[in-house]
Amino acid sequence: MKEHPDSRTAVAALRKATHGLLYMSESDEPFDVIHLDKPKDTFGAADARMVAGRPADCLVQEERLDEFFNELAQNHDWHGPSETEDVRRYRELWLFFRNRLADATVFRLGEVQVDIIIIGRAADGQWVGVETRAVET
């Protein structure tokens, strides 16, 4: 297993991994890199609301990393070269979160207009990840 990177290295890797990658839903949205520069032991629903700029009563659902990435990282017969490349990139992103960051998880905030936060803890204790949006009707 590879060594866990510090937050600076993880942010750079996430920027590179998500550059030009879109999350497909009823809208196609880019990923933004998240870096919380204060080390803390946990990242929970309140933290996710703060990052997404959502109110305290906003619905937050936690999802397992593998559950979130499973479909995104699957090749299908109908995929052309572009879709196949996106699947490869999603697989690499999945593996980065799973193998290089501690406590990686996914938070889904809201309904219909959904903020998605994928986050994990770097070796220096700081939380880093990516955020995107989805429209789900």
Closest CA to 58 of 48, 68, 66, 67: 48
Q: What percent of the chain has pLDDT over 70?
A: 99
Predicted confidence (pLDDT) per residue in 62-97, tens digit: 999 999 999 888 878 887 888 888 889 999 999 999
130 membership: H or E segment, kind and range: strand 127-135
The fold of the 7-135 domain, in CATH, is Nuia (3.40.1460)
Predicted confidence (pLDDT) per residue in 105-126, tens digit: 999 999 999 999 999 999 999 9
